[in-house]
Amino acid sequence: MDKYIKILKKLSILATLSSTTTESSILSGSIFTDTRTSLYSRMLEIVNKKQFTLDLNRFIPTQDRPEFWVWVTDQLEEYATKDMYMNPSYISKTDETLGVYWYQLEPQYDEPQYLYYNMSPSIINYILQRIPFNVRFMPGKFYIYWNAEPGILVDLIIKGVKREQKNEQQKKISIS
């Protein structure tokens, strides 16, 4: 059951990110106290609702998929008349030199999960054009959820930031 709760937490964050989440709720960390990511019944509802539209199965280990969705259905029935809060844990991190911000999600688990935010759309686009196919991720306009070791993504972010800085310098030179 602990493994399913871990999966549910991850999927509820992804489902919430795909809806009306604003950059300010990510920036302030209020996404982690949103009822869609902290109230158990709402977590179950949003994950069940977005199961197919977001293809959430790609974030669940293949061997756990059928049992997980049966468990979600059972939990929806059980928690129809009761509820509990279950806030996701995270560590906020920053690299001021690059202007990159991220959350390490559920750091107590072995599976690496990160939410990098406050990036320009051009950096997100740069990253998306170069991500390997074997990585689970979910992009937004100013953020990217990353479900793998951060090395590849950090390298892409550094290259994207440097590329963006170089483009800005070239614009300044051509204007002068």
Could you report the per-residue pLDDT of 62-101, keeping only the tens digit for each? 999 999 999 999 999 999 888 999 989 999 999 888 788 9
Q: Of 160, 169, 170, whose CA–CA distance to 119 is shortest? A: 160
pLDDT number for residue 125 = 95
| 44 close to 72: Cβ distance less than 8 angstroms | yes
| 116 close to 101: Cβ distance less than 8 angstroms | yes
pLDDT number for residue 165 = 85
Mean pLDDT, residues 160-168: 87
